[in-house]
Amino acid sequence: MSDTTLVQPRTEFLRGFSMRDAGTLIGLVVILVVFGALVPGFFAERNLINILQQSSINACLALGMTLVIISGGIDLSVGPTAALSAVISASMLVAGVPFPLAIAAGFAIGLACGLVNGLLVAYVGLQPFIVTLGTLSTYRALALIYTGGNPVLGLPTSFRAIFNGSLFGLPLAVIIVAGVAVIAWIVLKKTPFGEYLLAVGGNEEAAYIAGVPIARTKIAAYMISGLLAALAAQILVGRLGAAEPILGNLWELDAIAAAAIGGASLMGGKGSVVGTILGAVILGAMRNGLTLMNVQSFYQLLATGLIILAAMLIDRVTRGRG
């Protein structure tokens, strides 16, 4: 009775996510067009692949970050998690441990770091920002203590080939992260866990009363974030051929930026896999373009900041009636 007569159907208009994703896509196109006009050779196939490769590590982290942010949390510890995973995995490789075992150990470290974050958030009830701020320092310290502050060098070249190779002309890292993105999309859109993430972040109390396993959902989100940080670490170590205990410094900020540009709300309950990937590519394309233009890194930082603010402003304005 109350809503029927005056409210015309506007479902199409409100298909929130895809609308928002379209906005992010437009943003990416604008950036590509601008750099295409300013930078000769920006659109060369080789450079486009470069952009994807340069974006892949951040995209990988940002996918995990997106799930955590949707659940109403945040994971500031992804960089140190990656570093800890990298140095342990790398030192095992140097010691001659078989690849699969060393890589699995790296992933296990990532999962364990995420588990600690998740347990502290879900069962101890600490605030995600504070928990992961604490583990940010803790994990970094562990990586530094473990290595004595020195990089782990002398990785077998055959290991490097795994994550640094290419397939059908595309870097393997890009293909792996694309695969992760597809899985993340399916998880978010097609599984109960995805619905639970959105519900826990959207209204935890209501989700609890509706029978959603709150603690398990949150812990799983942090563990996925840790696992993807470990994957990002393997990709980077494969590329560099060495594992530094200080790798991944400030990764968390880029990952949060990509997720936010892509439409994730730090209030929880909202976020998009497609948007996050586009957000990561926006940041990657911009950095690539500015580097090709020989713009000082100070200005690159400035541009990153302005893009994030612009994305949030556009978000605010287009959402309109709040």
Binding site for another protein (CB under 8 A): 1-11, 13-16, 186, 190-192, 195-196, 198-199, 202-203, 205-213, 269-270, 321
Helix (H) or strand (E) holding 171: strand 170-171
Q: What is the 3-state secondary structure (H, E, C) of 221-234?
A: HHHHHHHHHHHHHH
Distance (Å, whole) CA 279 – CA 170: 20
Question: Per DSSP, what are the bridge partners of residue 166?
Answer: 171
Nearer of residues 213 and 241 to another protein, judged by Cβ:
213
| Shortest Å, Cβ 68 to another protein | 17
Nearer to another protein, 15 or 316 (CB): 15
CB of 8 or CB of 158, closer to another protein: 8
Question: Phi first, then psi: what are they for 167, rounded to 5°?
Answer: -140, 130
- From the list 176, 181, 68, 58, the residue with the least C-alpha distance to 114 is 68
For the bound state, the minimum distance from the C-beta of residue 175 to another protein, rounded and expressed in Å, comes to 23
CB 112 within 8 A of CB 226: yes
HSE (CB half, 13 Å, CA atoms) of 255?
31
Nearer to another protein, 91 or 265 (CB): 265
Q: Nearest Cα to 184, choosing from 128, 239, 131, 227?
A: 227
> Which CB, 159 or 196, lies closer to another protein?
196
Is the CB of residue 152 less than 8 Å from the CB of residue 242? yes
Least distance (Å) between residue 202 CB and another protein: 4
Nearer Cβ to another protein (148/211): 211
For residue 152, what are the β-bridge partners?
243
Tell me how far, at minimum, the Cβ of 147 lies from another protein, in Å: 40
Tell me the one-letter amino acid at 61. Answer: L
For residue 190, the minimal CB distance to another protein (Å) is 5
What is the rounded CA–CA span in Å between residue 243 and residue 105? Answer: 15
Q: What are phi and psi of 236, to 5 degrees?
A: -65, -45
Residue with smaller CB distance to another protein, 15 or 165: 15
For another protein, give the closer residue by CB, 73 or 171.
73
- C-beta of 185: minimal distance to another protein in Å? 12
Q: Token pair for residue 138?
A: 């803790």
Q: What is the smallest separation between the CB atom of 20 and another protein, expressed in angstroms?
A: 12
Provide the token pair at 88. Answer: 């342990």
Phi, psi of 56, rounded to the nearest 5 degrees:
-65, -40
User: Considering the complex, what minimum distance in angstroms separates the CB of residue 224 from another protein?
Assistant: 15
